[in-house]
Amino acid sequence: MPWAEASYTEQITGVTVTDGQLTQAQAVIDLYSGTTEEAAADLAVRPRDVRHLRMAVAYQAAWMASQVDVFSRTDVTSLDQDGLRAAPASADAWLLAPLADRALRRLSWRRMRSARVAGEGQGEVPPDVRDALARRTEVRDHDDETWTPL
């Protein structure tokens, strides 16, 4: 069963889709999201992420319904016909709906995260790392500049 239902898809997009189109959209979103409904159930995915996956499937199904044939396209780097050129906005623009892409970027596991790299104290660098960096700086001989942590 897909993340989204036909009634939800029609409600937010105004496009009527079939269960088969939802299943196709679900398969595409599974590829891009890196998860499936079965895996999400085991991992206890956050409700916010489920909402974004639901929107992604709905947008993808509505978008795919208006495309010529998503499954038999050829990947190209540029297109030039009668003096007109087309370049996709992203590498996946020919396969992924723009609003589905935006919903997928909001998934918690696809966001940028910061990680602390400091040693035991706030802002401290472990002594072995500090010594290695100091030796590297000394070898370069930059007018007696020594490395100090920020």
Tell me what pLDDT residue 72 has. 79
Tell me what pLDDT residue 103 has. 92
Question: What does the pLDDT look like over 89-109, one tens digit per residue?
Answer: 777 777 889 899 999 988 888
**What mean pLDDT comes out for the span 35-61?**
87
Question: What does the pLDDT look like over 136-147, one tens digit per residue?
Answer: 555 555 555 666
**Could you tell me if 147 and 137 are in contact, meaning their C-beta atoms sit under 8 angstroms apart?**
yes
The sign of the dihedral angle between the CA atoms of 29, 31, 36, 39 is negative
**Alpha-helical segments (H) within the chain:** 6-13, 19-33, 37-43, 47-65, 98-105, 127-140
Tell me what pLDDT residue 133 has. 67
Smallest CA-to-CA distance from 25 within 84, 95, 126, 112 is with: 95
